[in-house]
């Protein structure tokens, strides 16, 4: 009975000591990891600090640029309009462009011996010149 | 030197109570072992998740390492604005000449 009592008490103490050792090791590792996490969070904070002022700067400058661009291309349009030669519209000059030498019959048909019906037999000299 | 024998003089009731206490102690030891096993498993889970958090934070640090370039970009946009102002002045002069 006494021996069993001693065994039970020693077993209880051994179990408590063993698990305490294991849990202590785990908690130590967790503490190290959390310390590393804290350092990482500090680095992230340091990296994120210039984002807001930088973006505000970019947005402010970009807004000024965007507001000035219409002024610039307004100037450009005015310059292009100013330097282009003026040409009054001529209603008589609205017909399609034709060659000054007039048109003539193609000789390609003569080359292959083709004589379309109703065509002139004057080889080499085609249709009369059109009015220019 | 001879070890004297110790004889415990107990009544049957006392002996039964003692035996019950020993059995109860064994049960308590087993219960403590089970609960501490659960505790160890939970702490292991916490450790794994803290490791995951550490890895994510490491990735976030790597992702935000180039934020210093934002200031340089702002300077570049400022330079574009300066150049645009020069264009504005130039086009303004040309426009006045063309109109004249």
Q: What is the pLDDT of residues B73-95, one digit of tens each?
A: 999 999 999 998 898 888 888 88
Terminal C-alpha separation, chain A: 138
Residue of chain B whose Cα is closest to the Cα of A63: B81
Q: Please check whether residue A75 lies inside any domain of the structure.
A: yes
Q: Please check whether residue A100 lies inside any domain of the structure.
A: no
Give domain limits for chain B.
13-63, 67-100
Query: Rounded to an integer, what distance in angstroms lies between the CA atom of residue B74 and that of residue A68?
Result: 18
- The verdict on A60 and A41 lying in the same domain is no
Query: Rounded to an integer, what distance in angstroms lies between the CA atom of residue A97 and that of residue A130?
Result: 12
CB contact (8 A) between residue A23 and residue B22: no
**A88 with A120: CB under 8 angstroms?**
no
Phi, psi angles (nearest 5°) of residue B66: -95, 15
Judged by a CB distance cut-off of 8 A, whether residue B49 touches chain A is: no
Q: Please check whether residue A38 lies inside any domain of the structure.
A: yes
**Domain span at A24:** 10-49
Chain A neighbors of B21, CB-CB under 8 A: 5
Query: Rounded to an integer, what distance in angstroms lies between the CA atom of residue A10 and that of residue A18?
Result: 12
**pLDDT for residue B21 is more than 70:** yes
For residue B5, give the DSSP letter: P
Q: What is the pLDDT of residues B35-45, one digit of tens each?
A: 999 999 999 99
CB contact (8 A) between residue A16 and residue B36: yes
Q: What is the ipTM of this complex?
A: 0.70
A 10 A CB-CB count for A44 gives 18
CB contact (8 A) between residue A79 and residue B91: yes
CA distance A70 to chain B (A): 11
- The verdict on A34 and A18 lying in the same domain is yes
Q: Please check whether residue A69 lies inside any domain of the structure.
A: yes
Q: What is the pLDDT of residues A11-28, one digit of tens each?
A: 889 989 999 999 999 999
CA distance B53 to chain A (A): 8
- The verdict on A15 and A29 lying in the same domain is yes
Residue of chain A whose Cα is closest to the Cα of B84: A65
Q: Please check whether residue A112 lies inside any domain of the structure.
A: no
Structure tokens at A123: 């080889």
């Amino acid at each position: 009975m006494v021996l069993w009592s001693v065994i039970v008490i020693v077993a209880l103490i051994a179990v408590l000591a063993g698990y305490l050792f294991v849990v202590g090791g785990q908690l130590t590792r967790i503490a190290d990891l959390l310390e590393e996490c804290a350092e990482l969070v500090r680095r992230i904070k340091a990296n994120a600090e210039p984002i807001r002022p930088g973006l505000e700067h970019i947005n402010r400058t970009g807004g000024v640029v965007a507001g000035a661009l219409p002024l610039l291309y307004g100037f450009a349009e005015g310059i292009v309009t100013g330097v282009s030669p003026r040409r009054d519209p001529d209603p008589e000059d609205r017909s399609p462009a034709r060659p000054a030498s007039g048109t003539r019959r193609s000789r390609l048909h003569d080359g292959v011996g083709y004589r379309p019906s109703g065509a002139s037999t004057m080889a080499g000299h085609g249709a009369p010149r059109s009015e220019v | 030197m001879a070890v004297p024998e110790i004889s415990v003089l107990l009544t049957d009731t006392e002996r039964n109570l003692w035996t019950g206490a020993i059995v109860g102690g064994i049960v308590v030891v087993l219960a403590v072992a089970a609960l501490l096993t659960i505790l160890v498993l939970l702490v292991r889970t916490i450790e794994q998740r803290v490791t995951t958090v550490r890895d994510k934070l490491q990735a976030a640090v790597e992702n935000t390492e180039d934020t210093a370039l934002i200031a340089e970009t702002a300077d570049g946009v400022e330079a574009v604005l300066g150049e645009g102002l020069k264009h504005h002045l130039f086009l303004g002069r040309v426009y006045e000449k063309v109109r004249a």
